[in-house]
């Protein structure tokens, strides 16, 4: 059975609040901690003086704002803004003959790509590495969603494919789980190795910028800046072919080998 037959399934329709629900599930510790802190603040409020209350408001106010803002923006990005409408990919990259989708344990896109590029040969790879990917949210995602049996596990810096095998590599909301610059460079070099000389890497990520800082507060430090991504791409021998925003919070970079 070839890869196309193994993955021949219709992309499941996303629920109206699927993205929002996942944000809660994957980050429940953070939301629970914020809620607990607010409960403590409310209980202590009658016992505090004017200055103590002002200091508490200075801490609780931003926390409450960022909790509400992160929920609202997550719902907008993942449920309302058509983020998973990948029709633009045909315009930007055409139709690849062979493609690879690389994720870090949470794969919401392979079935959509299979439907979009029906008939193309493809592989799905999980590069989760507990030593390199230390954030609690990705571990929670793996526990809740599991990993599809058709996904092949691989090291992020040692993909099990020959040089130049793929036309296109998709890395959608996964590369940021590699927290160090040198890890991202090694990963990009390895992706470049398995791409054809004219192959393309489609990278989609939240950026550490004003919009995401306003929406997620300190949580936006989990993302990397556009400059950091360009630096990693450059050091890996990749250049930007095109870039554009998918909502004010998400940037797409289409990279080519230099």
- pLDDT > 70: percent of the chain: 86
Q: What is the pTM of this model?
A: 0.82
Among the listed ranges 71-80, 122-131, 232-241, which one has the minimum average pLDDT value?
A: 122-131
pLDDT in tens, 104-154: 888 889 999 999 999 999 999 999 887 766 565 555 555 555 445 468 999
Give dist(CA 233, CA 242) in Å, integer.
13
pLDDT in tens, 56-73: 777 778 888 888 898 899
For residue 27, pLDDT beyond 80: no
The pLDDT value given to residue 237: 95
Q: Bridge-partner residues for 67, per DSSP? A: none
Query: DSSP 3-state helix, strand, coil percentages of the chain (rounded to 5)?
Result: 50, 20, 30
The pLDDT value given to residue 106: 81
Nearest to 147 by CA among 175, 107, 117, 176: 107
Q: Considering only residues 13 and 189, tell me which one the structure prediction assigns the higher pLDDT.
A: 189
Mean predicted confidence (pLDDT) in 191-218: 95
Burial 193-211 (b: 16+ CB within 10 A, else e): bbbbeebbbbbbbbbbeeb
Handedness of CA 176, 174, 144, 160 (dihedral sign): negative
- pLDDT > 90: percent of the chain: 57
pLDDT in tens, 155-166: 999 999 999 999
Highest mean pLDDT among 6-15, 92-101, 106-115: 92-101
Contact 71, 217 (CB under 8 A): no
Tokens of residue 253, six digits: 């970079």
The Cβ-side half-sphere exposure at 89, using a 13 Å CA radius, reads 23
Give dist(CA 213, CA 74) in Å, integer.
13
Mean predicted confidence (pLDDT) in 185-210: 96
Give dist(CA 187, CA 201) in Å, integer.
12
Mean predicted confidence (pLDDT) in 234-252: 96
pLDDT confidence band for 9 (50 / 70 / 90): very low
Q: Considering only residues 1 and 47, tell me which one the structure prediction assigns the higher pLDDT.
A: 47
For residue 239, pLDDT beyond 80: yes
Nearest to 149 by CA among 26, 250, 1: 1
The pLDDT value given to residue 7: 36
The pLDDT value given to residue 58: 77
């Amino acid at each position: 059975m070839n890869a196309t037959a193994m993955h021949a399934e219709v992309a499941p329709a996303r629920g109206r609040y699927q993205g929002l629900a996942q944000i809660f599930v994957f980050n429940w510790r953070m939301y629970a901690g914020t809620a607990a802190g607010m409960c403590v603040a409310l209980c202590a409020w009658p016992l505090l003086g004017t200055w103590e209350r002002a200091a508490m408001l200075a801490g609780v106010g931003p926390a409450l704002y960022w909790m509400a803002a992160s929920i609202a923006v997550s719902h907008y990005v993942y449920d309302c803004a058509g983020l998973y409408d990948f029709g633009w990919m045909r315009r930007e990259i055409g139709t690849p003959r062979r493609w690879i989708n690389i994720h870090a344990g949470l794969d919401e896109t392979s079935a959509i790509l299979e439907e979009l590029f029906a008939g193309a040969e493809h592989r799905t790879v999980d590069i989760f590495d507990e030593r390199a990917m230390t954030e609690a949210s990705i571990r929670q995602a793996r526990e809740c969603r599991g990993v599809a049996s058709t996904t092949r596990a691989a090291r992020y810096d040692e993909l099990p494919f020959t040089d130049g095998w793929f036309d296109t590599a998709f890395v959608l909301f996964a590369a940021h789980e590699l927290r160090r610059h040198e890890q991202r460079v090694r990963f990009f070099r390895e992706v470049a190795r398995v791409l054809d000389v004219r192959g393309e890497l489609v990278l989609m990520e939240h950026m550490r910028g004003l919009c995401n800082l306003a929406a997620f507060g300190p949580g936006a430090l989990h993302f990397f800046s556009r400059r950091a991504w360009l630096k990693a791409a450059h050091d890996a021998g990749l250049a930007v072919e095109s870039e554009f925003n998918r909502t004010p919070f998400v940037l797409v970079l289409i990279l080519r080998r230099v």
